Amino acid sequence: MKKYISILLLFLLSTALFAQTNQAAIKWKNDIAQYDREDKTNPPPKHAIEFIGSSTIRFWKTLPQDFPGKPVFDRGFGGSQIDEATALADRLIFPYEPRIIVFYSGDNDLAAGKSPERVFADFQKFVKTVHEHLPDTVIDVISIKPCQSRWKLKDKVMTVNADIKAMHDPKLHYIDIVPLMLDEDGKPKADMFKPDGLHPSQKCYEQWAEKIRPYLD
């Protein structure tokens, strides 16, 4: 009887994972199709440095200039959430076998109403999934940024950041960009954001790059 229950649970889990992957693939089909086209004409090298996550990564148009001499490439997609990066890892991560992943995601999750506990759990699952397939890959996670347009979420942002920072994993590095984003009064700096108060400005990306570069060595 226990054997049949275990088989049933495994089947239900596999079905749920397939459904989640399929749902994410449909939702982000245009982004995935664009990357498929790029891979056919100008594929990134294997064992390179992959930036992946939400639109904060997708809009980082100056990666090659900000990280000269480094084999960096972008696979950010839309306003995605952490569990969607996990669901699409077999399409957007594993084929490239990156030696380093620079990951940013989480503020869309909180804005969608997910609890800090759920967001942290989703991040842990992302790390576990990556390391199950790519055990030697280092994950450099950029802390969730406090935003002007989502200032009401600041306490939840800080909770998730603290949980991620406290993780003990030799293949996981926490990159704290929060101090760069705040002024002396502890409020978001206007010039670090685009007019929407959500996405990083070019100045912001330049400062992030300076913070991230040592982790890529």
pLDDT of the residue at 42: 92
Is 125 among the domain residues?
yes
pLDDT of the residue at 38: 92
Is 198 among the domain residues?
yes
pLDDT of the residue at 25: 78
Is 163 among the domain residues?
yes
Report the alpha-carbon distance of residue 51 to residue 81 in Å, rounded: 15
Is 33 among the domain residues?
no
Report the alpha-carbon distance of residue 36 to residue 104 in Å, rounded: 21
pLDDT of the residue at 4: 57
pLDDT 10s digit of each residue in the chain, 217 long?
Answer: 555 555 544 444 445 444 556 788 788 888 899 999 999 999 999 999 999 999 999 999 999 999 999 999 999 998 999 999 999 999 999 999 999 999 999 999 999 999 999 999 999 999 999 999 999 999 999 999 999 999 999 999 999 999 999 999 999 999 999 999 999 999 999 999 999 999 999 999 999 999 999 999 8
pLDDT of the residue at 24: 81
Is 158 among the domain residues?
yes
Is 3 among the domain residues?
no
Is 120 among the domain residues?
yes
Name beta bridge partners: 138: 100
The CATH number given to whatever domain includes residue 200 is 3.40.50.1110
Number of domains in the chain: 1
Contact status, residue 100 vs residue 141, Cβ threshold 8 Å: no
Q: What residue numbers bound the domain in which 104 lies?
A: 45-216
pTM value is: 0.88
Query: Which two structure tokens, joined as six digits, stand for 117?
Result: 């506990």
pLDDT of the residue at 5: 56
Is 174 among the domain residues?
yes
Residue in the structure block whose two tokens are 């997910």: 114
pLDDT of the residue at 35: 94
The sign of the dihedral angle between the CA atoms of 123, 8, 24, 63 is positive
pLDDT of the residue at 15: 53
- What DSSP state is assigned to residue 144? P
pLDDT of the residue at 167: 98
